[in-house]
Amino acid sequence: MLDEKQHIAIADELAQAEKDRTMVPLLTARFPGMSIEDSYAVQREWVRRGEENGRRLVGRKIGLTSKVMQEATGITEPDYGAIFEDQVYENGSTIEHAQFSNVRIEVELAFVLKEELKGPNCSIFDVLRATEYVVPALEILSSRIEMEGRTIVDTISDNAALGAMVYGGNPVDPADVDLRWVSALLYRNESIEDTGVAAAVLNHPAMGVAWLANKLHAHGDSLAAGDIILAGSFTKPMWVEPGDTVHADYGKLGSITCRFQ
């Protein structure tokens, strides 16, 4: 375990890396005793600074919930990060590529809550009752820590590699669609790059949200009405470059398009 001064020092490094669009060396290589709880303490310091500087927390992201993502990263357990209002983009947005590092895209579903959701025994049924609607979303990944050899401790400290999110398509009541069978086709510059089905996320994307509520309870926190929850990717990360246009077709749930400049 690390102490509070070390948590703050690591948060300082990450804040500078975000500002400079650079990466810091692996934390686990420099702090062999660093634990998952240490990494969430670093992330909480990240969130505290954001709110102190006037940023508004609007939700959370869940990562590493599918086999395809666990295989892509070599990490076998989920994690979570924070979403601020200035990280949320509407469908059709043009997004500055240079504000991120190692930019990749993932295909997800976002849950928007109408009620508070809290652990310790949150179930899939609690999630579905508390959800106002589900909407297609893309997550933009941005890494501020070296990628080769990352562990879950590095990823959590890096706010679960969240850069931003884009939402679009048709918001649906979770009772009106079998969320397990929501599928998407992911295109870059009019060429199809990947496909996926939402059941890849823990067999049902709402299971990720239940996991999150229970994990937050262990950290003395909960999900609030109005929160946006990115439930986890059901495609592998797709690299994007300046000038790329990304399009995700979710069938009956509509589509999302964004361009990177």
Write down the pLDDT at residue 21: 86
Query: In this structure, is residue 70 part of a structural domain?
Result: yes
Q: Which residues of the chain fall short of a pLDDT of 50?
A: none
- Residue 77: inside a domain, yes or no? yes
Give the per-residue pLDDT at 256.
98
- CATH number of the domain where residue 165 is located: 3.90.850.10
> In the 3-class helix/strand/coil scheme, how is the chain assigned residue by residue?
CCCHHHHHHHHHHHHHHHHHCCCECCHHHHCCCCCHHHHHHHHHHHHHHHHHCCCCEEEEEEECCEHHHHHHHCCCCCEEEEEEHHHEEECCCEECHHHCCCCEEEEEEEEEECCCECCCCCCHHHHHHHEEEEEEEEEEECCCECCCCCCHHHHHHCHHHEEEEEECCCCECHHHCCHHHCEEEEEECCEEEEEEEHHHECCCHHHHHHHHHHHHHHCCCCECCCCEEECCCCCCCEECCCCCEEEEECHHHCEEEEEEC
Domain assignment of residue 29, yes or no = no
At 60 the pLDDT is 98
pLDDT score of 148: 86
Q: Please report whether residue 129 resides in a domain.
A: yes
User: What is the pTM for the complete model shown?
Assistant: 0.93
Residue 7 lies in a domain: no
The answer to whether residue 35 is domain-embedded is no
Residue 75 has a pLDDT of: 66
Domain count for the chain: 1
